Structure formats: structure tokens, C-alpha cells
Amino acid sequence: MSGKRKWIIAGLLAAAGLAAVVVWRIRDESERVPEYVFSYAENQAADYPTTQGANYFAELVEERTEGRIQILVMPEAELGAEKDVLKQLQYGGVDFARVSLSQLAELIPEMNVLEMPYLYEDSRHMWKVLDGEIGDGFLKMADEKDLTGLSWYDAGVRSFYTSEKKITCLEDLQGMRIRVQESGLMADMVEALGAVAFQIPYSEVYSALQQGLVDGAENNWPSYEFMQHYEVAKYFTVDEHTRVPEMQLASSHTWEKLSEEDQQIIRECAKASALYERRIWTLQEKKSRKTAVEKGAEEIVLSQAEEARFREAVQSIYEKYCADSMDVIEEIKNMK
């Protein structure tokens, strides 16, 4: 064999060897079966800030566990309304979820403290509370109910919106039928303002407004826009009566299956995803407000004097829900 042919054959063999290694590597990667595949329930649309936060969480976990833990985010209430998702989390039918505190407080009434009407001055005030010892203490409280609290998500501030009649003052709300979350506190708050509360799951609010079952509802700008409620309730009164934070949770049954190291990774990824969600939330609030108005919503700004009357009207709610925790309320108020 000539020297040149020998080199060619050697070159071909080396290339074939390299190709075999590459093919073996690719097969190995694609055949790697995750150790865990977990479900994650989310009741918002696929591109809503909290769902984007959940997707980021799932990506981070997959990356940090090198594919051993996969989390499948199911948006649009595919796994049920928040109330049912909480039950499923409790017995391990769903592994992870993000829920509104209003719903969680139905299971753990102490949580109501963090969503009292007009409790926080603004979002900065709320984050000071949730990012500190108080927030951590409430995350831990979820343990009592077979849940593991992981992080806090932003859901902005809620205001009323109505179909036929604008709300410009407290008198306008009297006797109005208002949809609220499936929450005793939210129902009582709306009734303290003189309206009649209807507890209806989130996914049914559009049709309740459209069919005239209720005269209005209350929520933040992104929910109002993403759920297209502006089409059936065009008067949005910026009264900002409450901030309801949201919690990212794991089922304790799922949690107990994990090693301490994986638990630590998941906690860190949840916190990182919460910071990410908070950033996109702030941008989305502005965008949604603009889009809703462009699409025909009318924004009504409540005068300061009226806002003071709204604040006054909900004071009785503090006596009913926070009689045993007025010290925490004071502490929160002093943190502004």
C-alpha cells in the first residue's frame, strides 16, 4: 500500500470513529429518561406573566438537574380551577401550582392578613413585606395543609369594572352584582362596599358578564385584558382596593420524594422565577392598560375623597378577619 493510501484509510477510520462517538452521544442524550416528570397547574393564558414565570422555573429546574427533573406547565386551567387545583395539590394529584392568595386563604385563613383591602401603600411596600421575615413566615404556613410554599408572585392591584353603569363614587356600587373570587374575604369586602357578591371561578367570568348574571367584576389590568373582559365590561374604575399576591406551591407528597439537594435547587429556581415574573409583571401592567383602552375600555379615576370613603367602608373587614392578628397588620402598615 502506498503511503498516501495509508493516510487516506487512516483518515477515513478516524472520521468514522468520531461519527460513531457523536451518534452514540446523541442517542445517549435523547434516550436519557428523566427521573421525575411533574405537573404544574396555572390558570392563566400561555403568554401571561405568571405562566412565563412558570416556564422559566421549569427551564431552570431542568437545566440545574441536568434533565433529571422535568416540569410540565399546564396553562389555561387545564388542570382545573384554582380551588380544585389546591385540593389536588394536597393529595398529590398535581405536583406544582401558582395560585392566588385569596384562594389559598380559604384553606389557611391566617393568610387573609396579607390581602386585606388597602393594606399596602403600593407595590414597593408589599414587596418589602413579602421579601422579609413576614413573607417567609407565611410561605412556611402552607406546610400545615400538605403544601410547600416556594415563592411569591406578583398580581398587581385590583379594581372594579362594570358593564352598564360606571362606578364614580360609593353610591354607584350600591346593590350592584359583582363577581368575586371563590373567597369569603373577597365576598365580604365587596358587600362592605354595598354591592352583592357572586363567587364565580375565573374562567366563567366573561360569560357571567356577557349574560348579565353580574354587573361587574374586579381584577388587575393584565387579567382584564388577557381575558378580554373589556369587551363585556368597558368601564374600569381605578379604585385599587386590594393587592392579592400569589404563591408558587409544591404538593408536600411530591416534595417528600425529593432529596434535600433537589429541594434546595427547586427552591432557588422558584425564587429566581419569581423575580423574573415580577419584572415582566410591571411591564405587562402598563401594556395591558394601554391595550384595553385602545380596544374601547374607559378608565375612570376615583377622586381622593371617594377613595377615602372606600377605605372607610371596608374597615369592618379588618375586625372580622384580623381580630387576632392586628399586631401583624400594624407591623405591615409601619413598613411602608
CB of 219 to ligand GCU, least distance (A): 5
What's the sign of the alpha-carbon dihedral 109, 240, 173, 318? positive
What's the sign of the alpha-carbon dihedral 259, 264, 269, 270? positive
Nearer to ligand GCU, 54 or 129 (CB): 54
Nearer to ligand GCU, 229 or 234 (CB): 229
Contacts of 82 (CB under 8 A, 6+ apart): 43, 97, 99, 100, 103, 181, 182, 201, 202
Helix (H, G, I), strand (E, B) or coil at 220: coil
Distance in angstroms (rounded) separating the CA atoms of residues 291 and 83: 30
Nearer to ligand GCU, 154 or 306 (CB): 154
Distance in angstroms (rounded) separating the CA atoms of residues 88 and 105: 16
Nearer to ligand GCU, 218 or 262 (CB): 218
Cα distance from N-terminal residue to C-terminal residue, the chain: 87
Distance in angstroms (rounded) separating the CA atoms of residues 103 and 116: 14
Give, in order, the Cα–Cα distances in Å from 243 to each of 101, 212, 297. Answer: 10, 27, 22
CB of 315 to ligand GCU, least distance (A): 23
CB of 236 to ligand GCU, least distance (A): 14
Hunting for cell 369569603 — which residue is that?
184
CB of 180 to ligand GCU, least distance (A): 8
Nearer to ligand GCU, 243 or 306 (CB): 243
* Exposure string for 10-22, b = 16+ CB within 10 A, e = fewer: eeeeeeeeeeeee
Nearer to ligand GCU, 139 or 155 (CB): 155
CB of 292 to ligand GCU, least distance (A): 14
CB of 52 to ligand GCU, least distance (A): 13
Distance in angstroms (rounded) separating the CA atoms of residues 183 and 89: 18
Nearer to ligand GCU, 144 or 204 (CB): 204
CB of 276 to ligand GCU, least distance (A): 16
Q: Using CB under 6 A as the criterion, which residues of the chain lie in contact with ligand GCU when the complex forms?
A: 43, 82, 100, 155, 181, 202, 219, 223, 246
